[in-house]
Amino acid sequence: MVQRPEDCAEFWAVARLGGSALLVAMALGFWPKAANCAEPAMQNAGAESRELRAGPVRLKLADGQLRYVRLGDKEIIRRVYFAVRDDHWRTPMPQFTEYRVEDGQDHFTVHLSATCKLDQIDYRWTGTITGTPDGRVEFEAGGAPAADFRSNRIGFCILYGIPSLLGQPFTTEGPTAMAKGVFPQLASPSLVARQFRKLAYTTPQGMTVTTTVDGAVCDMEDQRNWGDTSWKEYAPLPYAYPIAPKGKELRQKVTITVAGFDSSARRTPEEQILLKLGNASPGLRIPRIVPADALKGAAGFSDVNMHRDRFKGQSQVVWAYTPAEHLPDRDNLMDNVPGVMYQAQAAHAFAPQAKLGVGPVSFAPEKWPGHEPPDSAPYAAAWAAGFVQYAAMGGVEQVAFELGHGPAEAIIRDLQSHQGQPVRVADSSRPDVPVSALSVEADGAQTVWVANRTGAPVEIMLEGLGGARQASLTQLSVEGQRKSERAADVIEGRMPLDLGPFEVLRISTAK
């Protein structure tokens, strides 16, 4: 018997009450009407992310997306997701009516049904994600508009993470030809690859990763132009854009395979992460933090990078920045913390004499209707601390924040009091875990800011605290705990730290 959506909604509203309320419903005959309803508990399932495995491949499932596809310590794919855009590039997040996971430990199947609605957009799609013990992952999805609407693109996006693949050669195979390419060192103003269905790369260790798209022809862009830290392969379903006509159903599939890996190699998680402060690099300083309106009106970096000739002879290059241009979720915001450094590196390459300014720096919540602005989220402070560090590493001289009132204010004020001072940054024993530290020294005193940009506690050994014997620790931001100040011993320049989720810690020492 086919159930009406309203029957299922009523059934689960009562079922969640349990006990006598459920018995009453059964006595009234409500149970038979909705007994076969699948619980729509996954409509907001992104908050319930989980790790899945396909043999040696592990990944995170959240919001109906594949994230951080890894083999051992190597991130092989950053993200795979199905997106529906309007003609202004607005992207409604899917509301799931089915989100069912069958986890077999070394294999899995995920069943998805979703609706994407925003103003004129009304698109219904279904999908199936499978992972097999040999490391093969497939994501098949598609659907049809429930009404005519204007759209720039509908279909899969496949992201390749920049830190993992910078400078890596790849090959593509298209409908008519094969080509060779390289994931570029600097942000490319033009497409990185064109008109292909298959992309493959082989790591120096001999592992080959292949992604194949059926049902679309792909291009790939450098998302550093928009503040992201990935290259995006996009696969538009062949609608007659800019119109997506009502009822026209189209489907496509992404297949990820790996070969040549060492099946005996398994990552052994380190309980403690070593952060080792290096020597001060010439020219690296805390940027000058200017008022929010000081850099109003600046264009985005894509406009700068794609019109380089206008900026080559200028004494100053300024651009606006947001990490949420393409996706508004927390993973994406944290992934994009280093984006400003990559943009600055490209700007220095075509305007080597220019002083660089970035601002306004914002999360741009207005671009994502219905999505909660992250300005007041606990992770905003950790994001801001990381952003200032990478701005310094890119040689940015001034930054204007527009993050609103919230947790980020304290760290921005703290760093502003040290603006212009030389910076030391820390190397990490676990680059795949986003924790960071930067340090300044003045008048015999050292100040270090350590930021945990993850939603889980981390254990850190901080190294490079010089000859100090004791330090003062101040929590600038922490989720779910009271802020505190305390003293700690420094032993031979080292100090163990336990950081809570999104905690930002200031460490002050004196010799």
Looking at residues 95-117, what average pLDDT do you find? 96
Coil, helix or strand at residue 494: strand
Rounded Cα distance between 198 and 403, Å, is 40
Residue with tokens 């905003």: 380
Half-sphere exposure of residue 288: CA atoms within 13 angstroms, side-chain side: 9
Mean pLDDT for the chain overall: 87
Looking at residues 350-375, what average pLDDT do you find? 81
Res. 21: pLDDT tops 60: no
The pLDDT of residue 36 is: 35
Judged by average pLDDT, the poorest of 9-23, 209-223, 232-246, 284-298 is: 9-23
Looking at residues 17-29, what average pLDDT do you find? 36
Looking at residues 428-437, what average pLDDT do you find? 90
The neighbouring-strand residues paired with 460 are: 273, 497
Looking at residues 116-141, what average pLDDT do you find? 96
Gyration radius (Cα) of the chain, Å: 25
The pLDDT of residue 40 is: 33
Side chain identity, residue 377: A
Res. 476: pLDDT tops 90: no
Rounded Cα distance between 242 and 152, Å, is 6
The pLDDT of residue 95 is: 94
Class for domain 41-259, per CATH? Answer: mainly beta
Whether the CB-CB separation of 426 and 462 falls below 8 Å is answered with yes
Tens digits of per-residue pLDDT, 65-102? 999 999 988 999 999 999 999 999 888 889 999 999 99
The pLDDT of residue 350 is: 95
Tens digits of per-residue pLDDT, 364-419? 756 666 666 677 788 899 999 999 999 999 999 999 999 888 888 889 999 999 99
Whether the CB-CB separation of 150 and 90 falls below 8 Å is answered with no
Whether the CB-CB separation of 235 and 221 falls below 8 Å is answered with no
Q: How confident is the model at residue 209 (pLDDT cuts 50, 70, 90)?
A: very high
Coil, helix or strand at residue 413: helix
Rounded Cα distance between 40 and 372, Å, is 21
Tens digits of per-residue pLDDT, 257-295? 999 987 665 555 567 899 999 887 778 999 999 998 899
Res. 39: pLDDT tops 80: no
Q: What is the value of pTM for the model shown?
A: 0.87
Q: How confident is the model at residue 1 (pLDDT cuts 50, 70, 90)?
A: very low
Q: How confident is the model at residue 45 (pLDDT cuts 50, 70, 90)?
A: very low
Q: How is residue 388 annotated by DSSP?
A: H
Domain locations along the chain = 5-34, 41-259, 274-510
Rounded Cα distance between 395 and 388, Å, is 11
Side chain identity, residue 437: A
Tens digits of per-residue pLDDT, 305-341? 999 999 988 899 999 999 988 888 889 999 999 999 9
The pLDDT of residue 191 is: 98
Side chain identity, residue 279: N
Half-sphere exposure of residue 280: CA atoms within 13 angstroms, side-chain side: 13
Q: Report the CATH fold assignment for 274-510.
A: Immunoglobulin-like (2.60.40)
Contact partners, residue 150, CB within 8 Å, separation at least 6: 86, 87, 120, 242, 243, 244
